[in-house]
Amino acid sequence: MGIDRYAYYHVDFSTGKPIISKAQAKQSSKILIEFIAQVKEMYKVDEIYLGSFSQGAIMSYSIGLTNVGLIKGIIALSGRILAGKKRLIKKVKTLKNLKPMKFRIKPLPTC
């Protein structure tokens, strides 16, 4: 991607419509899923929340909604569910294990 730029997968915007590298996205998902399993085993934790911004939020949705039981919740900031993933999302009743999270962002005090 370039110096000080990070991504889970390449996105080509040259056509006016984002085209993702499906192979890179699949590989990144696999790595994250394996990492989460390792963290759960090593630290004996079950309550894992996955979240991020933009492409990380897309990855959080993709992993959390297609791998039931892997995580407890998704924190997505400025992300979306990719069209290709929508058909892979598990049935609503199996997603009830995800915990709703409530948080509020307070404005900074003015000087």
Nearest to 58 by CA among 100, 86, 39: 86
What is the domain range of residue 40? 11-97
Residue 40 has pLDDT above 90, yes or no: yes
Residue 97 has pLDDT above 80, yes or no: no
Task: Say which residues have a Cβ less than 8 Å from residue 52's Cβ, sequence separation at least 6.
Answer: 59, 60, 75, 76, 77, 79
6 against 3, higher pLDDT: 6
Q: Give pLDDT, residue 83.
A: 80
Q: Give the whole-number percent of the chain exceeding pLDDT 70.
A: 83
Tell me how far apart the alpha carbons of residues 85 and 40 are, in angstroms, rounded to a whole number. 25
Domain-located, residue 16: yes
Count the domains in the chain.
Answer: 1
Residue 92 has pLDDT above 70, yes or no: no
Tell me how far apart the alpha carbons of residues 1 and 103 are, in angstroms, rounded to a whole number. 33
Residue 1 has pLDDT above 60, yes or no: no
pTM score: 0.77
Tell me how far apart the alpha carbons of residues 61 and 89 are, in angstroms, rounded to a whole number. 9
Residue 2 has pLDDT above 60, yes or no: no
Domain-located, residue 6: no
Place of tokens 């989460």: 36
Kindly report the average pLDDT of the chain as a whole number: 85
Domain-located, residue 105: no
